[in-house]
């Protein structure tokens, strides 16, 4: 396929490189990042998108997605696909899909899970919203960039799945870190704690696959001074999106709200910026009980 790729940062660059290595012709555009080897450089987003069969975007937020859509859609052919892999608000995803469809362009919102490592290894999971015809065109590309793509429903459903998943992830990581800090103060060895919880009813991805305690369980950012696999500020972004969506549909999400507050404090007031989201553990370990 002829593919335009807009947004070649830490996630977009390895995704574009994997498409190029699989034999697709990829033209990229980014305001600051260099092009991966083999990816042709365009001088603008519009130039990267013009005449392509699929245009992939990986962008920071919904406002930028809307601006890029305004720029690229006029030059996209009817029947081509605008495949957005950013994590943005549901309203922006749906608005861009409506704008695309008005021009005869198919649209998919397809945020990803798996982080920078998954992007490089081609093992991402895609949560996809949009029409069946668009999903069928993009499916071979999902197979290259990831290990799984789930068609979640109509436009916006991919973003809904992503923010619900990451609301769970943020809350479970927070309580996992709390539990390790409590275990420390009760005199329980962290390794024994892991051995019990990882095979008991407290089992979770945060514990078993991404343990926040260094030297315990499989390798994780905790074993690398909490250098980010998934940065705390990105978790905060996703949690804020979850609460924005909850407000819009009048959903009661007290655990999601509390996780948002914790990560907001951690990132903005407690030097969590630039650390992995599992670095809540040393934060809790150093903190006593808040007695209000």
Active site residues: 162
CA atoms within 13 A on the CB side of 77: 10
**Spatial CB neighbours of 87, under 8 Å, sequence gap ≥ 6:** 111, 112, 159, 162, 163, 237, 238, 241
Task: Name the pairing type of β-strands 106-109 and 124-130.
Answer: antiparallel
What is the rounded distance in angstroms from the CA atom of residue 195 to the CA atom of residue 179?
Answer: 14
| Nearest Cα residue to 52 out of 19, 106, 3, 101 | 3
**Spatial CB neighbours of 195, under 8 Å, sequence gap ≥ 6:** none
Collapsing DSSP to helix, strand or coil, 86 comes out as coil
Q: What share of the chain is helix, strand, coil (3-state, %, to 5)?
A: 50, 15, 35
- CA 173, 175, 178 angle in degrees (round to 5)? 110
Q: Where are the alpha helices (DSSP H) in the chain?
A: 12-21, 45-49, 62-72, 90-102, 115-121, 132-145, 157-185, 190-197, 205-208, 232-249, 254-269, 280-285
| Nearest Cα residue to 128 out of 100, 106, 103 | 106
What is the rounded distance in angstroms from the CA atom of residue 165 to the CA atom of residue 173?
Answer: 12
């Amino acid at each position: 396929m002829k593919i335009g790729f807009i947004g070649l940062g830490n996630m977009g660059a390895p995704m574009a490189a994997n498409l190029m290595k699989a034999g697709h012709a990829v033209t990229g555009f980014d305001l600051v990042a260099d092009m991966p080897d083999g990816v042709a450089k365009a001088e603008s987003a519009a130039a990267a998108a013009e005449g392509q069969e699929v245009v992939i975007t990986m962008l920071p937020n919904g406002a930028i997605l809307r601006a890029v859509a305004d720029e690229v859609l006029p030059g996209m052919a009817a029947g081509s696909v605008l495949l957005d892999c950013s994590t943005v608000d549901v309203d922006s995803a749906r608005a861009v899909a409506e704008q695309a469809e008005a021009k005869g362009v198919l649209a998919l919102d397809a945020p990803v899970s798996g982080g920078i490592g998954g992007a490089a290894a081609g093992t991402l999971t895609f949560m996809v919203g949009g029409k069946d015809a668009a999903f069928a065109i993009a499916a071979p590309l999902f197979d290259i960039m990831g290990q799984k793509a789930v068609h979640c429903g109509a436009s916006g459903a991919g973003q809904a799945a992503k923010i619900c998943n990451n609301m769970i992830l943020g809350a479970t990581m927070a309580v996992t870190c709390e539990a390790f800090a409590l275990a420390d103060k009760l005199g329980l060895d962290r390794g024994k704690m892991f051995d019990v919880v990882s095979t008991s009813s407290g089992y979770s991805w945060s514990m078993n696959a991404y343990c926040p305690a260094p030297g315990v369980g499989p390798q994780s950012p905790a074993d690398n001074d909490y250098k980010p696999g998934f940065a705390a500020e990105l978790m905060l972004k996703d949690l804020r999106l979850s609460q924005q969506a909850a407000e819009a549909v009048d959903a009661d999400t007290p655990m999601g709200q509390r996780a948002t507050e914790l990560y907001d404090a951690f990132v903005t007031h407690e030097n969590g910026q630039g650390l992995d989201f599992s670095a809540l553990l040393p934060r809790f370990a150093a903190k006593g009980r808040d007695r209000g």
